[in-house]
Chain A
Amino acid sequence: ETGVTQTPRHLVMGMTNKKSLKCEQHLGHNAMYWYKQSAKKPLELMFVYSLEERVENNSVPSRFSPECPNSSHLFLHLHTLQPEDSALYLCASSQDLATGNTEAFFGQGTRLTVV
Chain B
Amino acid sequence: SQQGEEDPQALSIQEGENATMNCSYKTSINNLQWYRQNSGRGLVHLILIRSNEREKHSGRLRVTLDTSKKSSSLLITASRAADTASYFCATFEGYGGATNKLIFGTGTLLAVQP
**Is the Cβ of B48 less than 8 Å from the Cβ of A42?**
no
**Is the Cβ of A111 less than 8 Å from the Cβ of B42?**
no
Q: Which residue of B lies closest to A55 (CB)?
A: B98
Number of A-B residue pairs, CB cutoff 8 Å, is 77
Answer yes or no: B77 CB below 8 A from chain A CBs. no
In B30-56, the 8 Å CB interface with A consists of 30-31, 33, 35, 40-45, 48, 50
Closest Cβ–Cβ distance, residue A76 to chain B (whole Å): 15
The range of chain A's interface size is 20 to 34
**Is the Cβ of B41 less than 8 Å from the Cβ of A98?**
no
**Is the Cβ of A33 less than 8 Å from the Cβ of B102?**
yes
Answer yes or no: A114 CB below 8 A from chain B CBs. no
Q: Which residue of B lies closest to A40 (CB)?
A: B106
Q: Which residues of chain B come closer than 8 Å to A108, judged between CB atoms?
A: 41-42
Q: Which residues of chain B come closer than 8 Å to A2, judged between CB atoms?
A: 42, 44
Answer yes or no: A66 CB below 8 A from chain B CBs. no
CB 8 Å contact bits of A7-46 with B (1 = contact, 0 = none): 0000000000000000000000000010100000111010
Given A43-B104, A108-B42, A101-B96 contact (CB < 8 Å): no
**Is the Cβ of B107 less than 8 Å from the Cβ of A103?**
no
Q: Which one of B2, B43, B99, B101 has the highest number of Cβ atoms from chain A below 10 Å of its Cβ? A: B43
